[in-house]
């Protein structure tokens, strides 16, 4: 993961739909991301998806360092045809996930749609960020999940962007641990 470069984006998890979602996350977040996973897909995709969330969260935390000069907060609403997704986040150093989405289709290819929440839980807790996600409306499961990944990428871009008007850490405590 490189927050200052947009290329390359190369995703190989063995789970096609998840590869598509991670590509969207990186492209809309405008960051470089290389992911190559050899998981236990003979069982199912759960560990692969969760472990990618863990590692991406850890990479994000390391890439941000002390977080000096970044906006810290990010918000994005993304429409995907009939669906509307929202992501609001705070790179506060405190981990929390609010996930408000339901999916009528339980599986998209090899991807169990309940793994969407598992991925974002792992990402939020390992990056130590507050992440609030919601599908405000929609019918198509693919569109709803896609809106969440795109919105999260866009909110991350806003949050990690350096702002020259911010002197030091964007916190009254002086730290975002």
Predicted local confidence at residue 39, as pLDDT = 82
Predicted local confidence at residue 168, as pLDDT = 67
Q: How far apart are CA 103 and CA 55, in angstroms?
A: 25
Tell me, what DSSP letter sits at residue 72?
-
Say if residues 151 and 76 touch (Cβ distance below 8 Å). yes
Q: Give bridge partners of residue 96 from the DSSP assignment.
A: 130
Which residue has better confidence, 157 or 172? 157
In this prediction the pTM is 0.94
Which residue has better confidence, 172 or 135? 135
**Of residues 119, 113, 114, 99, the one with CA closest to residue 37:** 119
Which residue has better confidence, 172 or 144? 144
Predicted local confidence at residue 170, as pLDDT = 62
Predicted local confidence at residue 164, as pLDDT = 82
pLDDT class for 173, splitting at 50, 70, 90?
low
Rg over alpha carbons for the chain, rounded to the nearest Å, is 16
pLDDT tens sequence across 81-119: 999 999 999 999 999 999 999 999 999 998 999 999 999
Q: Is the pLDDT of residue 11 over 80?
A: yes
CATH superfamily of 9-160: Imidazole glycerol phosphate dehydratase; domain 1 (3.30.230.40)
pLDDT tens sequence across 22-76: 999 999 999 999 999 998 888 889 999 999 999 999 999 999 988 888 899 999 9
């Amino acid at each position: 993961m490189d927050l200052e470069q947009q290329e390359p984006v190369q995703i190989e998890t063995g789970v096609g739909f998840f590869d598509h979602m991670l590509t969207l996350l990186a492209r809309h977040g405008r960051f470089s991301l290389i992911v190559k996973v050899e998981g236990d897909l003979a069982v199912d995709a759960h560990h692969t998806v969760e472990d990618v969330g863990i590692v991406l969260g850890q990479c994000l935390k390391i890439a941000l360092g002390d977080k000096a000069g970044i906006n810290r907060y990010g918000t994005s609403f993304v429409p995907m045809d009939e669906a509307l997704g929202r992501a609001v986040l705070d790179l506060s150093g405190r981990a929390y996930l609010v996930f408000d989405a339901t999916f009528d289709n339980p599986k998209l290819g090899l991807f169990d749609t309940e793994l969407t929440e598992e991925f974002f839980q792992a990402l939020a807790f390992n990056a130590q960020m507050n992440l609030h996600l919601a599908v405000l409306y929609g019918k198509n499961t693919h569109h709803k999940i896609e809106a969440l990944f795109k919105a999260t990428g866009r909110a991350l871009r806003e949050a990690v962007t350096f702002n020259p008007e911010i002197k030091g850490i964007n916190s009254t405590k002086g730290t975002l641990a």
